[in-house]
Amino acid sequence: MRLQRDGSTGILALHEGEKQLKLFLKKGRLVYAEGIDKEGSLLVELMSKGKIDLRQLDELRVLKQEGPDGLGKALLNQKIISEAVWRGFLLLKVKAVLCAAFDMENPDPVFNESELSILPRNFIPLESLPLLLDTIRSTTPRKPLREILKSKDEVFGLSPDAPTCKALLPLNPSEEKTLSLIDGRKTAKEILKSSGLTSRLFQKSLYLFLRLGLVGTVPQQWRISREHSHIIRLYLNLLLIVEANYREEIGKRSRKVFKKCVTDMALPGKALFSDLDLVNENLQSAAQKIDAHFMQQKTLSDARLVLLTSFSKLLYLLIMRMNKLLGKKRAEKTIEEMINALNHFDPSKKNPETMLHATRNLEDLLRQMKS
Predicted confidence (pLDDT) per residue in 213-252, tens digit: 888 887 654 455 667 777 888 888 888 888 888 888 888 7
Give the confidence band of 23 by pLDDT, cuts at 50, 70, 90.
Answer: very high
Residues 116, 31 contacting (CB under 8 angstroms): yes
What does the pLDDT average to over 19-44? 91
Span 316-365, pLDDT tens digits = 888 888 888 888 888 888 888 888 888 776 554 556 777 888 888 888 88
**What whole-number distance in Å separates Cα of residue 124 and Cα of residue 111?**
20
Average pLDDT over residues 270-283: 72
Residue 307 CB neighbour total at 10 angstroms = 27
Say how far apart CA 5 and CA 139 lie, in whole Å.
24
- The residue that leads in pLDDT, 50 or 159, is 50
Sign for the CA dihedral angle at 67, 68, 69, 72 comes to: positive
What is the band of 6 on the pLDDT scale with cuts at 50, 70, 90? Answer: confident
- The answer to whether 10 touches 112, Cβ cutoff 8 Å, is yes
Lowest mean pLDDT among 97-101, 117-121, 150-154, 202-206: 150-154
What is the domain class of 140-222 according to CATH?
mainly alpha
The contacts of residue 67 (CB under 8 Å, 6+ apart) are: none
302 falls in which pLDDT band (50, 70, 90)? low
Distances (CA, A) of 47 to 40, 72, 278: 11, 16, 73
CA atoms 188, 189, 195, 201: torsion sign: positive
Quick one: pLDDT band at residue 299, thresholds 50, 70, 90?
Answer: very low
3-state SS class at 187 = strand
- pLDDT at position 109 is 85
Categorize the per-residue pLDDT at 24 as very low, low, confident or very high, splitting at 50, 70 and 90: very high
Per cent of the chain over pLDDT 70 is 90
Q: So where are the chain's domains?
A: 2-105, 140-222, 226-370
Above 80 in pLDDT, residue 195? yes
What is the per-residue pLDDT for 93?
Answer: 92
Average pLDDT of the residues of the chain: 83
pLDDT of amino acid 13: 92
Per-residue pLDDT tens for 122-174? 898 888 888 888 888 888 877 777 778 888 878 888 887 777 777 778 889 99
> Taking phi first (over 0 means left), then psi (-120 to 50 degrees means alpha), and beta for anything else, what does residue 256 get?
alpha
Local structure of 24: helix, strand or coil: strand
- 312 contact partners, CB below 8 Å, separation of at least 6: 357, 358, 361
Is residue 11 over pLDDT 90?
yes
Give whole-number Cα distances, 161 to 7, 167, 187, in Å.
17, 11, 21
**What integer pLDDT is reported at residue 225 of this predicted model?**
62
Which of 18-32, 129-143, 303-317 has maximum average pLDDT? Answer: 18-32
Whether the CB-CB separation of 225 and 300 falls below 8 Å is answered with: no
Whether the full predicted model's pTM is greater than 0.75, yes or no, is no
Q: How large is the average pLDDT for residues 249-278?
A: 80
Helix (H) or strand (E) holding 15: strand 10-16
